[in-house]
Structure 1
């Protein structure tokens, strides 16, 4: 694991606070509605086992469609929250909430078939279900954001760089769950907030995007790899020394993120290249 090291970016009992704008993780609003929708599936699933084979199959189909709709709704809310948290963002590639509305409508239509109400009423149930779902959850973002009147190639590169960074952060958060330590999970969340501050800065002023992408890639890939190795080791050994070393590494990386965010605004490519080279050497030693 990492060796504790001193220097310009080593914290001494304190860390710089994350900036107020754009550093917190995107949190979906209205997630409880997806949970309620999931529970309604049991209105179809439980009665299905008390009827004949036809009703049972249709009941299972309707319940399954509701469960799928609830999952798509939750994922759609997450994608929407991530979209609104960024200054530059592409619309979701898959309109999850729209698909969820269609699944809800289909489930109610199947429910109408179970009741042997012909074909007209199931169609009405389907339309009503879709409208109610769209009223409760809204629609997916349908347009790209922050790309109007700006070079599409450049903004596309920014969006891809941020998406790549978010994938590294998500991998870190997934890995640290294996350690089974709530304090460390919060610590990784704090590191993620500092990294997202850099994302917002690059979105506002891409500057030298090539250097920025290299910088983010080296830092976040190093942090991700260190987290995976630490989590696997700590889950088996509960090694306090390894825990302290891992926190020290996160402290240094987070402090450097906070200090270097403004460097991209000045386009000081020489200093950034030096920082990247130094970090690579540090991570080789840490591993």
Structure 2
């Protein structure tokens, strides 16, 4: 029988019967248009092919045009990732930098560089650049322009949460990277499932930044311990294929997943209790001011 992994980084187990029923968050959100930016590079390939048959000035212009398209593909892809993360959250700030808009400008610059010829005038290249910008915006859309669900939320607290969540995501990425050394697809899937439970906790704290204090040890200390344990296990299991070590590691993930889900549920329940308290306080104030509540009116 596998023994439960213990140590200073392991949270205490919850009592039997508290197995979490919350649905774990899935992998990092993916934008439905995430595969499109590569076509910007494909579309710019003729510039790369024709560049080496041009004189030096034409060579530089064509290479610059291709580089602009490649940069546009990169920043557009990053913009789509940021938009997918924005859409996946109920509370989110708009991206700090409009990456998709920058991608559109780079496409326009690439078309201008690729079509410009000395003595041929500027009108044609400018028209092509404007058309490229417009087509990019039609294909990929605009970046999110407004914050979502931020009304009544302390911006400073939200920034703190964003930093802690960012560190938590890095620790999860470290776990996923380390388990690859074990060369076992089932273990990789098991780590990904635990990552989903951790992200569910992240989303709960993002929805209510006041929960950060209660969840911080889970998002930092426990995840750091899980990452370190994963690295040590992967190095051992990758060479020895020790069945007992595997069982112990899977028991550790099960304990962590149970505790993360239980903590998430506790945060949600505390949020409901706080809402009930605020409602009762408001009702008491209204009653003292002589304003009847709807329930009182219905009873009469």
Q: Using structure 2 for the length normalisation, give the TM-score.
A: 0.75
Return the alpha-carbon distance in structure 2 between the equivalents of residues 185 and 143 of structure 1.
Answer: 37
Q: Using structure 1 for the length normalisation, give the TM-score.
A: 0.78
Aligned counterpart in structure 1 of residue 252 of structure 2, from 249, 252, 277: 249
Contact 2:5-2:249 within 8 A present in 1 as well:
no
* Structure 1 residue 73: Cα displacement: 1.2
* Structure 1 residue 88: Cα displacement: 2.1
* Structure 1 residue 136: Cα displacement: 0.8
For 1:80-159, what aligned pairs fall within 5 Å after superposition? Answer: 80-114=83-117, 117-159=120-162
Secondary structure in 2 matching 1:145? coil
| Structure 1 residues 91-145: Cα deviation after superposition (integer angstroms, max 9, x where no partner) | 2223221111111111000111158642111111111111111111112222322
What is the aligned partner in structure 2 of residue 276 from structure 1?
A: none
Return the alpha-carbon distance in structure 2 between the equivalents of residues 115 and 72 of structure 1.
Answer: 30
* Structure 1 residue 214: Cα displacement: 2.5
Cα distance change, pair 224–25 in 1 and its aligned pair in 2 (3 A)? same
Return the alpha-carbon distance in structure 2 between the equivalents of residues 233 and 104 of structure 1.
Answer: 49
What is the aligned partner in structure 1 of residue 287 from structure 2?
A: none
* Structure 1 residue 182: Cα displacement: 3.4
Return the alpha-carbon distance in structure 2 between the equivalents of residues 87 and 258 of structure 1.
Answer: 19
What is the aligned partner in structure 2 of residue 186 from structure 1?
A: 189
Return the alpha-carbon distance in structure 2 between the equivalents of residues 34 and 98 of structure 1.
Answer: 13
- Structure 1 residue ranges without an equivalent (≥5): 269-287
Return the alpha-carbon distance in structure 1 between the equivalents of residues 172 and 151 of structure 2.
Answer: 28
Return the alpha-carbon distance in structure 2 between the equivalents of residues 70 and 175 of structure 1.
Answer: 30
Return the alpha-carbon distance in structure 1 between the equivalents of residues 240 and 43 of structure 2.
Answer: 42
Contact 1:207-1:267 within 8 A present in 2 as well:
no
The answer as to 2:176 corresponding to 1:169 is no
Aligned counterpart in structure 1 of residue 212 of structure 2, from 209, 212, 217: 209
| Structure 1 residues 158-181: Cα deviation after superposition (integer angstroms, max 9, x where no partner) | 333333322322333344345444
What is the aligned partner in structure 1 of residue 241 from structure 2?
A: 239
| Structure 1 residues 240-266: Cα deviation after superposition (integer angstroms, max 9, x where no partner) | 444444333222211221222122245
Contact 1:98-1:139 within 8 A present in 2 as well:
yes
Contact 2:205-2:211 within 8 A present in 1 as well:
no
Contact 1:89-1:159 within 8 A present in 2 as well:
no
Return the alpha-carbon distance in structure 2 between the equivalents of residues 17 and 56 of structure 1.
Answer: 61
What is the aligned partner in structure 1 of residue 39 from structure 2?
A: 36
For 1:11-50, what aligned pairs fall within 5 Å after superposition? Answer: 19=23, 22-50=25-53
Return the alpha-carbon distance in structure 1 between the equivalents of residues 107 and 264 of structure 2.
Answer: 45
What is the aligned partner in structure 2 of residue 274 from structure 1?
A: none
Greater Rg by CA: 2
- When the two chains are superposed, the root-mean-square deviation of aligned CA atoms in Å is 3.0
- Structure 2 residue ranges without an equivalent (≥5): 7-11, 272-300
Contact 2:215-2:263 within 8 A present in 1 as well:
no
Return the alpha-carbon distance in structure 2 between the equivalents of residues 154 and 47 of structure 1.
Answer: 53
Contact 1:208-1:267 within 8 A present in 2 as well:
no
Return the alpha-carbon distance in structure 1 between the equivalents of residues 233 and 97 of structure 2.
Answer: 35
Contact 2:100-2:141 within 8 A present in 1 as well:
yes
Return the alpha-carbon distance in structure 1 between the equivalents of residues 96 and 3 of structure 2.
Answer: 42
